[in-house]
Amino acid sequence: MGRPRLAGLHGVCTSYEPAPGRIEHVGDDTVVAVLAALGVDASTPHAVRAALEAYDHGAGQALLPPTVVVRPGRPPDLARLPEGTALRVETESGEVLDWGPDPGGRTEYAYEPPAQPPDHDGARSPRRAPVRTPDRVPGDTVGRLPLGIHTLRAHTPDGRSARAHLIVAPDRMPTPPGRAHGFMVQLYSLLSGRSWGMGDLGDLADLAAWSGRTLGTGFVQINPLHAAVPGAPTDPSPYRPSSRRFPDPVHLRVEDIPEFGGLEGDARRRVDALLVRARALRDAVLREGALIDRDAVWELKKEALELLWKVPLSPGRRAAYCDFLAEQGTSLEDHATWCALAERYGSDWRGWPAGLDDPRSARTARMRGSLLDRIDFHSRLAWFTDQQLAAAQRAAEEAGMGIGLVHDLAVGVHPSGSDTWAQQDAFAAGMSVGAPPDAFNSRGQDWGLPPWRPDALAAQGYAPYRGLLRGMLRHAGALRIDHVMGLFRLWWVPEGRPPTEGAYVRYDAEAMLSVLALEAHRAGAAVIGEDLGTVEPVVRTELAGRGVLGTSVLWFERDYTKEPARPLPPEGWRADCLATVTTHDLPSTAARLTGRHAALRHGLGLLDRPLHEEQAAEAVEVGEWLETLHRLGLLPEGRGNEEAAVKALHRYLLRTPARMVGVWLPDAVGDRRPQNLPGTWDEYPNWRLPITDSAGRPLSLEEIAASPRLHALMSELRTVRR
């Protein structure tokens, strides 16, 4: 019994339920490996006894946990404190507050207005007001606690003392203003006449300005823009980044950087030549059917950016850049240092010379001194990118969007990237995030992403997580969190083992959600959780209670009270969700309606049954939906028209109470190819396809904006309340 108890104390689950009523037990070897990644030796009975004794006389007897959470309806966890303990709070602003017994059973704390991120020139943009903010929180102590991350100190009558991080958070995430519809798009796939071979932040700003003003859209949701691991070839997946803390400068619109106008002489002639080559890349994609080549685009942009970096900044621009550096602090310095070292030693820091694998070593400090120019270059790129993200969100707000940009937070980072180098103590070495075997994948999944250590997060007051969220929300009206269930638990797979031999590790969901609520409140941004697939029932309940919108995809919304399950009636959908017909990981709606997706998967050897059986099953599913649409009067054009069926499915979404209705931009123009085909690597050009029309012809942003098919579809959604 010792090892299961030890595992439970550290959040390691020794069993899981892949299906209702079916329990699978985790092997001892896996439990030992996962505990080792948490710094706990459970390899022998003696080691288990020693670890339990250490816990019982250490963390088990601590006066305070490493992090204490306070929010409305949740008193702080202070059960270990003896009566008469004096409590003092040192707030993040430097104020010192005393706590004491509260006869009324309340804890008071004030709410400050949401923080407003600076514009490119340092000015503050008007932001939406956050969700309702109660001014009292039930509890058993009293004091005036502002929202934030503070320090709690306890002094007992017998002379003992303790210190903890104190999170004071609002109860819920901000609520989106009214009801809204908007586009979902993979930014790289959205090329315009000014693109350098892939969509960029200038295109994003243009899409937001056009769609907000012309179509009445309330948001644009995009793929993660996280910094990629450099190399040749670069992994094109936006969900396996080097860093989630900083965006990738490959998304920059070079000509929109103010210093572009200062290029002269040979530098200007060189950039003009690069522009010609960039236009050729763009035309190859839009006119010749070539795939998007991120590496080729970055090669040209990097050369141009090297020349722009040499253009002196004006006094005002220099002051703004210095402010940005001061604001970003060590996080940006570490990221830029990693980028500079990766240029010299390769992108896998685990193979760097001794000492350089430690960001705080003396050798790394010396290298920082010798690489000051390269560190400044990469810091400057981060600043340029931040400014263009701010400009895109500003364009969305000025176009009347109530939400604006919806950024996407990937579930993890690459094991050899910038974040794992700079924050090694926060990641579980030798572990990878994935998913256990289930009805859809009997072999389980290994995503190759190292997980955060829950104990390290708690010990640091969730600082790595807080910093990540704050950066993601700087220029966002909402944040989508991929695999939001990971705030509660993640499937850890020990290195070298199949994903079937993993184990769930639990996180402090109360703390994770409270930090999220705090940062979202400060940014005035809504939060959307990608909660598709197998989810513990309590998870969706808790997320809904904290104001996190869910994700509801039409094809998965079924009424399971009937046998067989049927399409869920629109009134049965949840209101607090982003409702869509499809996503980037699913076939386009036209492909599903025409059966092309089954043929594509068959051609790639991805089917577990004969093609005719797969097509028959898909035809039954599509037929059910067409019958439902016809019965509800949503398909007056008849069932034989694929474009009409796409419109009817979106009419169906409007019948639901969903707060947000998302339109996959490729659906709006009839694209029949998926952007990503799970289960493939080189077999399919994942993350490298431009948006096309129904005939497979690539479309520029200008052509998309003029598409009669798009305008006919979007006219249906103008009825959404704004």
pLDDT tens figures, 293-342: 999 999 999 999 999 999 999 999 999 999 999 999 999 999 999 999 99
What does the CA dihedral 321, 323, 326, 332 come to, rounded to 10 degrees? -40
Placement of tokens 């035809």 in the chain? 619
pLDDT at 122: 33
Give the 3-state secondary structure of residue 11.
coil
Cα 147 from Cα 167, distance rounded (Å): 8
Range scoring the smallest mean pLDDT among 190-194, 380-384, 438-442: 438-442
Higher pLDDT, 573 or 17: 573
DSSP string, 357-413: TSTTSHHHHHHHHHTHHHHHHHHHHHHHHHHHHHHHHHHHHHTT-SSEEEEEE-S--
What is the distance, to the nearest Å, from the Cα of residue 124 to the centroid of all Cα atoms in its chain? Answer: 25
Asked whether residue 135 carries a pLDDT value surpassing 80, the answer given is: no
pLDDT at 439: 65
Q: Which amino acid is at 110?
A: A
Residues 6+ apart with CB under 8 A from 345: 351, 352, 353, 356
Asked whether residue 481 carries a pLDDT value surpassing 80, the answer given is: yes
Looking at residue 124, the DSSP 8-state letter turns out to be B
Q: Give the pLDDT band of residue 202 (cuts 50, 70, 90).
A: very high
pLDDT tens figures, 630-683: 999 999 988 789 999 999 999 999 999 999 999 999 999 999 999 999 988 889
Question: Are the CB atoms for 693 and 699 separated by under 8 Å?
Answer: yes
Q: Give the pLDDT band of residue 440 (cuts 50, 70, 90).
A: low
pLDDT tens figures, 93-123: 999 998 753 433 344 444 343 343 333 333 3
Q: Give the pLDDT band of residue 79 (cuts 50, 70, 90).
A: confident
b/e sequence 188-224, b meaning 16+ C-beta within 10 Å? bbbbbebbbbbbbbbbbbbbbbbbbeebbbbbbbbbb
Range scoring the smallest mean pLDDT among 123-132, 321-330, 610-619, 690-699: 123-132
Q: Give the pLDDT band of residue 622 (cuts 50, 70, 90).
A: very high
pLDDT at 443: 84
Cα 397 from Cα 404, distance rounded (Å): 6
Question: Are the CB atoms for 645 and 639 separated by under 8 Å?
Answer: yes
pLDDT at 100: 54
DSSP string, 260-324: GGG--HHHHHHHHHHHHHHHHHHHHHHHH-PPP-HHHHHHHHHHHHHHHHTSPPPHHHHHHHHHH
Averaged pLDDT score across all residues of the chain = 91
Packing angle, helices 2-9 and 45-57, rounded to 10:
40
Question: Are the CB atoms for 145 and 109 separated by under 8 Å?
Answer: yes
Cα 380 from Cα 325, distance rounded (Å): 9
Residues of the chain with pLDDT > 70, as a percent, come to 93
Tokens representing residue 399 in the block: 């176009």
Question: Are the CB atoms for 211 and 220 separated by under 8 Å?
Answer: yes
Higher pLDDT, 447 or 565: 447
Packing angle, helices 201-215 and 372-398, rounded to 10:
10
Tokens representing residue 232 in the block: 């040749």
Residues of the chain with pLDDT > 90, as a percent, come to 84
Cα 354 from Cα 626, distance rounded (Å): 63
Cα 171 from Cα 346, distance rounded (Å): 45
pLDDT tens figures, 17-64: 887 788 999 999 999 999 999 999 999 999 999 999 999 999 989 999
Cα 400 from Cα 142, distance rounded (Å): 43
pLDDT at 718: 78
Label the pairing between strands 503-506 and 489-494: antiparallel
Cα 191 from Cα 521, distance rounded (Å): 34
Placement of tokens 């004491």 in the chain? 100
Cα 721 from Cα 515, distance rounded (Å): 31
Other beta carbons less than 10 A from residue 310's beta carbon: 12
What is the distance, to the nearest Å, from the Cα of residue 363 to the centroid of all Cα atoms in its chain? Answer: 34
b/e sequence 644-679, b meaning 16+ C-beta within 10 Å? bbbbbbbbbbbebebbbbbbbbbbbbbbbbbbbbee
Asked whether residue 125 carries a pLDDT value surpassing 70, the answer given is: no
CB-side neighbour CA atoms (13 Å) of 155: 8
DSSP string, 486-540: GGTEEEEEETTS-GGG-EEEE--HHHHHHHHHHHHHHHT-EEEE---SS--HHHH
pLDDT tens figures, 540-553: 999 999 999 999 99
pLDDT tens figures, 651-661: 999 999 999 99
Tokens representing residue 470 in the block: 């704050």
Cα 327 from Cα 342, distance rounded (Å): 24
pLDDT at 108: 45
pLDDT at 72: 86
CA–CA distances in Å: residue 443 to residues 360, 440, 605, 696? 40, 9, 17, 34
Q: What is the largest CA-CA distance in the chain?
A: 81
pLDDT tens figures, 270-290: 999 999 999 999 999 999 999
